[in-house]
Amino acid sequence: MRHFPPTRRILPALIAAAALGAAVSLAVAAGKGVAQREKPAPQPPLVIPPATPPATTPPAPGPGETDETAALPTPSSAAQTLYSAARADLLQIRMLLKNGRSQSSVGSGFLVGTGNLVLTNYHVVSQMALDPDVYIGEYVDTDGKSGPVELLAVDVLHDLAVVRVDRNGSGFFQVPERPVKLVQGQYLYSLGNPLDLGFAISEGSYNGIVTRSFYEQLIFTGPINSGMSGGPSVTAAGVVAGVNVSKRLDGELVSFLVPVRYAQELLGRVAVQPHAPKNFNPLIGQQLLAHQRALIDRLLGEPLSIRTMGPYQVPVRESQQLRCWGRSNFRAEAEFTLDAVSCAMEAAIYVSDTQQTGHVSMTHQVIRSSSLHPLQFAVLASSRFRVDSLGAGRDTRLTRPACAEMFVHTATLPVRAVTCVRAYRKFAGLYNFTLLAASTDDPNANLLSRLDLAGVSYENGMRATRAFLSALGRSHARAGSR
């Protein structure tokens, strides 16, 4: 018998361990490779970022990036007059980190009448509303004097907030009792502190009411930059017409204002409330719940309209708020045809820099092939049915997803259905729903549908999921299909 010193006995085991590790990674890579070789179609994101830019000021441009040589147009006399009259009541609102008092975001605001109340955007003060232990607010006026601000009320849906400061207005900005009559093309003057560069006034024109967003907003054809959010837009006569809120990043001078009517309502609520709420989170949760009630009621108010995609019938809802876009792979060098339609809301509710909610989107894809073997087709369909993650796995604002999966038969179509739900941590009663459905009736055709509901109550999530799932169907008997 030969004797093996103990250390030598371990060596083959170590090599085996290393080999097994390598094999595991190889196998995993191979498995993924098979599944991912087909480039999956880009799914619509769970939540489409709204047009609202955050209140944060982007970093200042470097030297050479700014064009200082361009001649400035002569300011209109109306703007000159307005600015000199308004400057005393114009404020910059800053969010500061409590710890160290360094500023984290800036926006604008204005003193209403002769009182000490300041109107601004919710998104300017959202950090203070959501995390009052971390952030505090501060105002700076046109003379550079600063002081503390106290948050009194928020309206998340219309993106408005009211804060109290330690000084009174001169009475220039009057929020009118009755709605302001505006005529398309009428001049409006927007005030604020763009990009933290200094107070400014910009001239533009009123161009009607946006119908694309869920809540009424005014179109202002003029420049609004981040940092001007929360500032007033006034008529030449000095009447406040709206509050600066956002602009389209993909357009030129397409900006939006919150109609002053909603500011009046919020001020009215402040007048009757005995004291400011200590914690705004439940209040924001209630507002989001109210939003989703209206949203789902409008979505399901009438039966979903049914479209025919190849052999399948799919539910869609096309409205002013929910836009649908189609695409196809007819140019791709593939053995299958793909037709897709996706409908999504163009606006969402801003809750914080990293969280938008109150959003609905739906997608349908039909893939068909007469030349692929059924097994090849099955692999293709499986890879398109796979969604690796529903948002970030480690998201501190949402719980991890819980999923239900089943083979389901709707009225005319058997489908594989998966529903995944995540709950909001801060807002009780709000959930994100995702429904994925794949038809299982045909070896050469497949319908893949997806419905995303962000920020809905459980009942409404179930209601919309059921309506969407039940409406999936097959338009004619299978025998007739190629």
Distance CA 84, CA 234 (A): 14
The yes or no reply on residue 462 touching other proteins (CB under 8 A) is yes
363 touches 43 (CB < 8 A): yes
**Amino acid, single-letter form, for residue 345:** M
276 touches 153 (CB < 8 A): yes
Of residues 151, 240, 390, 456, which one binds other proteins by CB under 8 A?
390
The yes or no reply on residue 402 touching other proteins (CB under 8 A) is yes
Task: State the nearest-atom distance from the C-beta of 474 to other proteins, in Å.
Answer: 12
* Residue range at the interface with other proteins (CB under 8 A); choices 68-76, 79-87, 274-282, 386-394: 386-394
- With respect to other proteins, which residue has the nearer C-beta, 263 or 417? 417
The yes or no reply on residue 414 touching other proteins (CB under 8 A) is yes
Task: State the nearest-atom distance from the C-beta of 324 to other proteins, in Å.
Answer: 24
- With respect to other proteins, which residue has the nearer C-beta, 361 or 432? 432
Of residues 7, 69, 74, 99, which one binds other proteins by CB under 8 A?
7
Which residues inside 431-460 make contact with other proteins, applying CB under 8 A?
431, 436, 438, 440-443, 446, 458
Distance CA 264, CA 271 (A): 10
Task: State the nearest-atom distance from the C-beta of 328 to other proteins, in Å.
Answer: 15
Of residues 135, 229, 469, 473, which one binds other proteins by CB under 8 A?
469
* Residue range at the interface with other proteins (CB under 8 A); choices 168-176, 288-296, 354-362, 430-438: 430-438
The yes or no reply on residue 380 touching other proteins (CB under 8 A) is yes
DSSP letters, 373-431, are -HHHHHHHHHHHH----SS-SS-SSBPPPEEEEEEEE-SS-EEEEEEEEEEBSSSTT-E
Of residues 61, 308, 404, 476, which one binds other proteins by CB under 8 A?
404
The yes or no reply on residue 424 touching other proteins (CB under 8 A) is yes
The yes or no reply on residue 12 touching other proteins (CB under 8 A) is yes
The yes or no reply on residue 389 touching other proteins (CB under 8 A) is yes
What torsion do the CA atoms of 118, 121, 125, 127 make, to the nearest 10 degrees? 170
Structure tokens at 267: 């001020």
- With respect to other proteins, which residue has the nearer C-beta, 304 or 380? 380
Long-range contact set of residues 474-478: C-beta below 8 Å, sequence gap at least 24: 474/311, 474/312, 474/313, 474/412, 474/413, 474/439, 474/441, 475/308, 475/311, 475/312, 475/313, 476/311, 478/311, 478/441, 478/442
Distance CA 112, CA 119 (A): 7
The yes or no reply on residue 400 touching other proteins (CB under 8 A) is yes
Residue 316's SS3 state is strand
- With respect to other proteins, which residue has the nearer C-beta, 319 or 457? 457
Which residues inside 299-358 make contact with other proteins, applying CB under 8 A?
333-336
Half-sphere exposure of 63 (CA within 13 A, CB side): 0
- With respect to other proteins, which residue has the nearer C-beta, 23 or 97? 23
All residues at 6 or more sequence positions from 181 whose CB lies less than 8 Å from its CB, including other chains: none
Of residues 132, 205, 408, 412, which one binds other proteins by CB under 8 A?
408
Of residues 153, 284, 322, 417, which one binds other proteins by CB under 8 A?
417
Of residues 144, 274, 393, 480, which one binds other proteins by CB under 8 A?
393
Neighbours of 7 (CB within 10 A): 7
The yes or no reply on residue 26 touching other proteins (CB under 8 A) is yes
- Which residue, among 220, 224, 275, 232, has the nearest Cα to 120 in the 3D structure? 232
